[in-house]
Amino acid sequence: MTLRIYNTLTRHKEDFIPLEAGIVKMYVCGVTVYNYCHLGHARAYVVWDMIRRYLATKYQVKYVQNITDIDDKILKKAQENNTTMQAIAEQYIAAYDEDMAKLNIAQADDYPRATETIPEIIELIQQLIDRDYAYASGGDVYYAVQKFPSYGKLSGRKLEDMQAGASGRVDEQEEQKRYPFDFALWKSAKPNEPFWSSPWGNGRPGWHIECSAMVRSRLGETIDIHAGGIDLQFPHHENEIAQSEAAYAKPLAKYWMHNGFVNIDGEKMSKSLNNFTTIRDLVSHFEPMAIRLFILQAQYRQPIDFTEEAINAATKGWETIRDGMLFAEDFGAKLGWENIEIPARKDVGEAIACFEEAMDDDFNTSVAMSHVFELAKKLRSERNSLSHAGKTAASSEVLFQDWQALIYMTSILGFVADISDRQVKQEIISDVEIESLIQQRIEAKKTKKYQEADRIRVELKTLGITLIDQKDGTTRWIRE
């Protein structure tokens, strides 16, 4: 089956055909480094990591993700902390790296920074001025949106329907603009702010121009895939198209891809609602791979709703997948697998073919995960048979092929399992702590706080503790 991708620009699924045979150039909009990453960031970068991994089974992929390290929000944070913009940026770049590593998100091939791309930004702005798509005014430079006839083609918006300041990054005072929806390419320096010299005076770049310059400097004038969250479709990506295509008279990207929103208990994630859940908060309570599973259970373009029930279910699901992945480490020697020749992919092709068919349909991980679970559940059943009866229903060769297929699928989805995780967790919780959590669960049930009771059960299960429940309550527990 040919890989098909939903192209936001055309609003259709299209056959994926790289511009250059065998090579994919992919650019993903990165973080603005002024705070810790939240669940929305986790969703985006887990998704693009998964897509990159799958593309890498077919093509050579060059994956670039920028870092916005000059921005009003970074400057505000620096002022609040009585430090420099650079210090704030470095602090949160390091935090970003830590958070992504916990979720097993592979590093990009390149992380260009806006502050390291100033010469290219200035050059691009000058090209737009020379082509009459931009104008200088009072030390600022603006893009003239009315000069670009196809402005709005990505988002489907019309100029007359647009609202100024939709990105939340437009300065309150922009009296120098000729047209209300023109946006800043260069901002004149303000007191006590970092600046760079330019033909229009000291200042710093606008947000949108940074990505246009970084795409060209790292990947060229036209790339295969430009990706990001759906919230970036307008105005950021719309403005990138206007800038790059006006300057180079070429399409900026062949395929535009956007991941859906994350909702928390049915409400869109928003700082105004105070429902931003940081990645570090999440991984302190839940397995990182359970978070990754929660994200990948939905097709990437669909919104997902983060609830306690949903993350608990993902935690339970991850336990099944983890046990399947660790089957060889737990039972391989007993089954004599060290003497079995590893079969070629075509020899275990049925399960993998179903998995790849789902992935080829616009990376439909919702369906792909069902094939992962099918194999993991089968291996878990055989695990139980080996543990209790000392034998399996299936042959050793068939089990090996099932395990190999599972490892292939989970590697593409970015899951990692380490047997030491289970052992360490069993060591760090004492019998007294276990009994205390069980008592909290009993009290939660008495007060009909069933979600809290389920959460405690899942937490203990994650720590390698299985509760034995009878009609009279929890009678005993065992360590896995």
**Domain final residue, candidates 402, 417, 432:** 417
Residue 351, domain member (yes or no): yes
- Work out the average pLDDT over 192-200: 94
Domain co-membership, 105 together with 252: yes
Q: How does DSSP classify residue 236?
A: I
Q: Does residue 302 belong to any structural domain of this protein?
A: no
On whether residue 67 sits in a domain, the answer given is yes
pLDDT band at 44 (very low <50, low <70, confident <90, very high): very high
Same domain, 250 and 110: yes
Q: Kindly state whether residues 453 and 382 are assigned to the same domain.
A: no
pLDDT of amino acid 471: 63
Residues 336 and 429 grouped into a single domain = no
| Total count of domains within the chain | 3
Residues 250 and 395 in one domain: no
Q: Which of 112, 7, 121 shows the shortest CA–CA distance to 64? A: 112
* pLDDT > 80? residue 55: yes
| CATH number, position 181 | 3.40.50.620
pLDDT value at position 269?
67
Per the domain annotation, does 273 fall within a domain?
no
Residue 166: pLDDT band (50, 70, 90) is very low
Could you tell me if 332 and 473 lie in one domain? no
In this predicted structure, what is the pLDDT of residue 231?
A: 95
Q: What is the pLDDT of residues 58-85, one digit of tens each?
A: 999 999 999 999 999 999 999 999 999 9
Could you tell me if residue 381 is inside a domain? yes
Give me the chain's average pLDDT, please: 89
At residue 345, the pLDDT reads 47
Range of the domain at 132: 18-264
3-state secondary structure of 336: coil
**Is the pLDDT reported for residue 308 higher than 90?**
no
Question: Residue 469: its pLDDT value, please?
Answer: 72
User: From CA 241, how far away is CA 208, in angstroms rounded?
Assistant: 10
Do 110 and 240 belong to one domain? Answer: yes
Distance CA 89, CA 35 (A): 9
My answer on whether 475 and 345 are in the same domain is no
Residue 432 lies in a domain: yes
Give the pLDDT mean for 339-368.
80
Output the pTM of the full model. Answer: 0.84
Weakest-pLDDT range from 142-156, 158-172, 243-257: 158-172
Helices (H) and strands (E) in the chain, counts: 16, 15
